[in-house]
Amino acid sequence: MPDFTIKKVIVEKGVHGQALTNKILTRVKGIPVQTIDEVETGKRRDESDMGKENIYLMHYKGEFLKPCPGTREYICCGYKILNVGTNCPLDCSYCILQSYLNQPNLRVFVNLQQELKQVLDIIDNSPDSVFRVGTGEFTDSLAVDHITGLSDIIVPPFSKRKNAVLELKTKTTNVKRLLSSKYRDRIILSWSLNSPYISAREEHKAVSLEKRLKSARQCQSEGFILGFHFDPIIFHPQWKEEYLKTLELLDKYIDPKGVIWISLGSFRFIQGLKPIIRSRHPGTCVLDGEFIMGLDGKMRYFKPIRIDLYSFMRENLEKWYPNPGLYLCMESDDVWYKSMRWSPGNSAGLSDYLNKRVDDIFK
């Protein structure tokens, strides 16, 4: 079970009586429930209080399917985000959500069940396109799945569609609902990985790397395709030795033939995140590197450092398996060439590369 607790459930008045609301409330018996007229939006919160022990059940008024917020200055993979909620209880020191989102608390969009048909219609109306869809951009995909049961809602319809895949990304072992499901096709279970040093110091309420990979092995043994994400890779003392320890665990537990892709991305952040990290995580090491402002306005490591990080990871991951589906997240063409020894050229090229991975593994 997760290494965090939920202390309160706050319900927006307008979603009382909805099917998903009722199901969630039956799973939180013994936890105080508060009803409010409407969840506040657009209000700047106190960064010291992220409300990670409270769940808000609310009506989401925006679009449920959106493109990943990449930038034209770097090569983007063409991912689509299914908005099921915002914020994450795992409290990683480097998490961009600390600054990116204005509102506190774990927010669950309970009208997803009603609005999902519109998302599926978008997919069905473009049968020649491949939709790589994930829920892990603004929250951990599975951290509160034992409470929300969202996987019960979204996995079956995505599993039935031949021009889409659904990726659920996590740092937990909360896979019980998925393992009890009969659906496997077109579903990708992914884990975010880091070095043991960073995992222990900076990923405060996430489970250990070994627990994540044991959970991944169990899911793989029961028919799920896996993905992994080394993002953010963080420059820190003995980083090469530390990341090699993670790769040794990967080799110990995972069959590489059942891995669709592995992304690599270095630590980057908007400037407003730095004081929040310093305030909320005073012992952190993630800000100790040499940073420069990138073309997208985010602070990132100097280019030679990024190339060194990616080259090292590529060389050692390819020793594990010659074709592990490696790709860089939000990097330039020259960084691709210098670290990966090839480049997709542009965002369309990277999208084609990943779409072919989908076609090859879900034949």
**pLDDT tens by residue, 102-114:** 677 899 999 999 9
> Do the domain assignments include residue 125?
yes
Query: Quick one: pLDDT at residue 44?
Result: 47
pLDDT digits (tens, 9 = 90+) for 282-313: 999 999 999 999 999 999 999 999 999 999 99
Neighbours of 284 (CB within 10 A): 15
Contacts of residue 56, Cβ cutoff 8 Å, sequence gap at least 6? 10, 11, 12, 39, 105, 106, 107, 108
Q: Mean of the pLDDT values across residues 36-59?
A: 72
Which of 109-124 are b and which e, b meaning 16 or more Cβ less than 10 Å from the residue's Cβ? Answer: bbbbbebbeebbebbe
Query: Quick one: pLDDT at residue 105?
Result: 86
Query: Quick one: pLDDT at residue 304?
Result: 97
Residue for token pair 């491949």: 130
Task: Determine if the peptide bond prior to 69 is cis (ω within 30°).
Answer: no
Q: Could you give the number of structural domains in the chain?
A: 1
Query: Quick one: pLDDT at residue 104?
Result: 74
pLDDT digits (tens, 9 = 90+) for 254-284: 999 999 999 999 999 999 999 999 999 999 9
pLDDT of residue 56 exceeding 50: yes
> Do the domain assignments include residue 303?
yes
CB 236 within 8 A of CB 242: yes
Q: Mean of the pLDDT values across residues 79-107?
A: 89
pLDDT of residue 209 exceeding 60: yes
> Do the domain assignments include residue 294?
yes
pLDDT of residue 41 exceeding 80: no
Query: Quick one: pLDDT at residue 38?
Result: 74
The CA-CA-CA angle for residues 293, 294, 299, to 5°, reads 50
Query: Quick one: pLDDT at residue 98?
Result: 87
Amino acid residing at 4: F
Tell me which of 211 and 98 has the higher pLDDT.
Answer: 211
Overall residue count recorded for the chain in this entry: 363
> Do the domain assignments include residue 29?
no
Tell me which of 2 and 259 has the higher pLDDT.
Answer: 259
Q: What is the pTM of this model?
A: 0.95
pLDDT of residue 45 exceeding 60: no
CB 261 within 8 A of CB 357: yes
pLDDT of residue 40 exceeding 70: no
**Secondary structure class of 143 (helix, strand, coil):** coil
**Secondary structure class of 106 (helix, strand, coil):** strand
pLDDT of residue 329 exceeding 70: yes
With a pLDDT cut of 90, the percent of the chain lying above it is 88
Which helix (H) or strand (E) segment is 259 a member of? strand 259-266
pLDDT digits (tens, 9 = 90+) for 112-130: 999 999 999 999 999 999 9
Query: Quick one: pLDDT at residue 245?
Result: 98
> Do the domain assignments include residue 119?
yes
> Do the domain assignments include residue 44?
no
Q: Residue 300: which CATH number?
A: 3.80.30.30
Q: Which of 190, 332, 206, 195 is nearest to 262 (CA)?
A: 190
Query: Quick one: pLDDT at residue 5?
Result: 84
Q: Which domain holds residue 325?
A: 61-361
Q: What is the mean pLDDT of the chain?
A: 94
